[in-house]
Every structure is written in C-alpha cells, then in structure tokens.
Amino acid sequence: MDYRVPDRADTLAAHYVLGTLPSRARSRFAKLAAADPVLGKAVRAWEERLLPFAESIPPVAPPPQVWARIVARLQRPPPVQAASTIWANMGLWRGLALAGFATAVALAIVLMTPPVERPGQSLVAVLAGPDAKPALIATADRGGRTLSIKPIAPVTVAADNALELWALPEGGKPRSLGLISPSGVVRVTLPQRADAALARVPALAVTLEPAGGSATGVATGPVLFSGPIQRLY
C-alpha cells in the first residue's frame, strides 16, 4: 500500500488519531509517521482537530501513588535527551536486549556523557564481568582509527598485572588490541578504520596478563570482561 497518496495518507492519519486502526496497522502506521514528514504532518493536523474534544471529559484526579511512582522513576539516571528517539530506531536497543538490561543502562550513561564523546556513526561495546555488571565501555567512530576504552566501574589490578584488550574475530584467534588502564580512558589506535578493523569481530574481551601484556601475542590470563560490539550504522 502506498501511504504517500495524499488522500489515503490523510484517511489513515485520521483513523490513527481517532484510534480505529487495528493493532498491526496501528503500529505499522506509527512507525511510518515517525519517519515520514508528510504522514507526520497529517497526524499532527488530525490531533489538532480531534484531541481538543477530549477537554470536555470531566477531570478525575489520579491517586497520589501515581506521582510517587513517577518521582521514583526520575531518580534513576537523568534522561537521554532528544538523542534517544534517534537511537531507538537504530536497532541498538534490540541488540542490547540480548546483552541485558544492566548493559543498556550502562550504554545510556555513555550516551549522556559530554557531547564530544557521543558517537555519531559508531561502534560501541559494553564489557561486563561474569556477574554481568558492566565494567568498561569501548567506543569508536566508524570512520576513525581510535578505539576509546573507558572504565565505568572500579577495576582493581595488582601492580604486576595488566589488562589487555582483545578482538575476538569470528572463527579466528583473539587479536590483541593493546593494554588498557583500569582507571582512565585509554585510546587504542587501530590498524584501519574502525568499521574495517573490527568488521568480522563480534565481540571484545579483556584478559588479565602479566605487566607489559602477554609476551606471546596469545591471551594467557583469565577473561575478566567481555561484550558484543554494537554497530550503530
């Protein structure tokens, strides 16, 4: 069906706003209207026509616990402004559902860090320990050659040990990306653009190695953290 035929678009928008579209048609239309300015405009026009009629409904005060619950929700991390709607459409959250809720929260924190660090078209990995608590976040611009790794939870490492970051390629041996710091942001230089360098790398991992890192180029210590790479493009 071509939703862009003006009359049909307008009729659908009218039924969407009135509420008579059946479930599947309704959600399909909502997605289209969010992406298509013509449909979006038709929806807003119908909202302006119809929704003021709702003002004649006699008001009913909601029970006080509703506000209490709202306030409780606000005390969680502050919202991701504006960006969230864009991100929502990028398959990001779908991917993260697999990685778990804690990861999603951690990623939300990353997105809220200063705008300079907010990735555009980027690769993001949240690395979590066996307890599933996110510990590190790795981000790279798709076209850039820097992978930034930032600890988001305290990580303790003995002085004679080091943390080493590994790319885990599909069906290949782990490839060292270098040493990282348990406390500050570390920027690892990639051999190519990030999207190429990490093209067939579904995940990253961090192992505990002797100071200076694995001497052999093969991971020797236990895997402390790992996580899938999300590609936001």
Partner 1 sequence: MGGDAASQPERNARLADLLARTALADQRAFAELYQLTSSHLYAVALRILRQSASAEEVLQESFVSVWNHAGSYAAARSQPLTWLTSIVRNRCLDQLRRREVDTVTIDEEDEGVMLRDDGPTPMEMLVSGADARAVKACVDALEARQKQAVALAFYRGLSHAELAAHLHEPLGTVKSWVRRGLERLKACLDAVGVER
Residue nearer to partner 1 on the CB measure, 45 or 157:
45
Minimum CB distance to partner 1, residue 182 (Å): 32
Spell out the alpha helix ranges (H) of the chain: 6-18, 23-35, 37-50, 64-74, 83-88, 92-99, 101-112, 194-197
Tell me the closest approach of the beta carbon of residue 59 to partner 1, in angstroms. 4
What region, left, alpha or beta, does residue 108 occupy, with left being phi > 0 and alpha being psi -120 to 50 degrees? alpha
Bridge partners, residue 122, by sequence: 141, 232
Of 156, 159, 92, 169, the residue nearest 129 (C-alpha): 156
Burial of 217 (0-12, 13-18, 19+ CB in 10 A): exposed
Of residues 86 and 196, the one with the C-beta less far from partner 1: 86
Nearer residue to partner 1 within complex by CB, 49 or 94: 49
Least Å distance between CB 8 and partner 1? 12
The Cα–Cα gap between 149 and 167 comes to 13
d(CA 210, CA 230): 29
Least distance (Å) between residue 22 CB and partner 1:
6
| 16 or 166: CB nearest partner 1 | 16
Q: What residues line the site for partner 1 (CB under 8 A)? A: 11, 14-15, 17-23, 26-27, 30, 44-63, 65-67, 69-70, 73-74, 78-82, 84-85
Nearer to partner 1 by C-beta: 82 or 159? 82
Minimal distance, residue 32 CB to partner 1, in Å: 14
